[in-house]
Amino acid sequence: MLGPVYRVRLVREWPDSERFPLQDDLMLALHARRSAASIAAWAVRHPDRPLVVALTGTDLYRDIAHDPQAQHSLDVADRLVVLQDAGVDHLPQRLRDRCRVVFQSSTTRQALPKTTRHLRVVAVGHLREEKSPRTVFDIARRLRPQDGIRIDHLGHALDPTLGEEAQATARACPHYRWLGGVTHAQARERIQRAHVLLHPSRMEGGAHVIMEAVTSGTAVLASNVSGNVGMLGRDYAGFFPWGDVTAACTLLRQCRDSLGGHIPPQSSLLPHLLAQCRLRAPLFAPPAEARALQDVLAEALYLKPVVA
């Protein structure tokens, strides 16, 4: 995205040699805490050169509240980048004017044929606490096989205990399958074939899987945590309170009912969600991300012009 405009070097830490740090004109650092040492080194060595820091979900919703190194990264940055609209609200008030939103992007995929016999749901995310896989397990146990809702759950068991719980849920619930880790191509195909992406996470900076669903003609049901709201918009109709299994099941059943023709299409939930997703899809186009990111760097260079 930056190559057409800038000469770009990608490094794990800075400085990475004695030669290049003298030639580097601008730093774009990813992650306020994990890149804190590189950010601090740049601020000391090149206080007259621009510094942009892109913030992750763990930065916004955990680290900047208590980690001194992450806080220092925010203070010395000329521009801050968040990955969705609601991220700005979690910065200290004094820093919000420096912040810009850059939505990540995903390639557009055509929706694949979807069955009308049942509602096909996919949950995508490695089994770890931040992704709230137990909410998926609890939803599967609350639903009945005759409800006409089938759930496929994708992702490695990063926590072995959660893997065991996924297996137990699959044994108890014939309408739930845990498929474990799959390739990215396989995950995208399952998203394309699903009616709904179920995304119940507890913490998100800007979930890539949400934009992959939106750009694949698949609706999203998501927890109403800040990162998901910032991706889909505050007026999106597919949110449920984090961890609220009853509310999630109600939305899933409403989406299932949309398939049967029992509700007029203009008032059914699933078509409404799809229409809202179509309106958000242009935000996640690769050219839009490239333009937004280039604009941020141009602003930073305007603040601190590079002197040849």
For the stretch 113-151, pLDDT in tens is 888 899 999 999 999 998 999 999 999 999 999 999 999
Q: What is the DSSP string of 159-200?
A: SHHHHHHHHHHHHH-TTEEEEE---HHHHHHHHHH-SEEEE-
The pLDDT of residue 16 is above 80: yes
Residue intervals of the chain classified under CATH 3.40.50.2000 are: 20-105+285-303, 119-284
Q: Identify which of 209, 197, 226, 202 has the alpha carbon closest to the alpha carbon of residue 84.
A: 226
- State pLDDT tens for residues 22-74: 789 999 999 999 999 999 999 999 999 999 999 988 898 889 999 999 999 99
**Whole-angstrom Cα distance, residue 34 to residue 204?**
17
Which overall architecture, per CATH, does domain 20-105+285-303 show? Answer: 3-Layer(aba) Sandwich (3.40)
**Whole-angstrom Cα distance, residue 279 to residue 101?**
18
- State pLDDT tens for residues 223-265: 999 999 999 999 999 999 999 999 999 999 999 998 865 555 5
Query: What tokens were used for 10?
Result: 């990608």
**203 close to 227: Cβ distance less than 8 angstroms:** yes
60 φ/ψ sector (left φ>0, alpha ψ -120 to 50, else beta): alpha
Give the per-residue pLDDT at 58: 85
Q: Which fold has domain 119-284?
A: Rossmann fold (3.40.50)
**Whole-angstrom Cα distance, residue 3 to residue 287?**
13
Give the per-residue pLDDT at 307: 73
In the sheet that 119-124 helps form, which strands lie side by side, from edge to edge?
Answer: 176-180, 149-154, 119-124, 196-199, 219-223, 239-240
The pLDDT of residue 2 is above 90: yes
**Whole-angstrom Cα distance, residue 254 to residue 218?**
15
Mean pLDDT of the chain: 93
Residue type, 185: A
**Whole-angstrom Cα distance, residue 149 to residue 120?**
6
Name residues whose C-beta falls within 8 Å of residue 108's C-beta, 6 or more positions apart in sequence: 215, 216, 281, 285
**Whole-angstrom Cα distance, residue 156 to residue 143?**
24
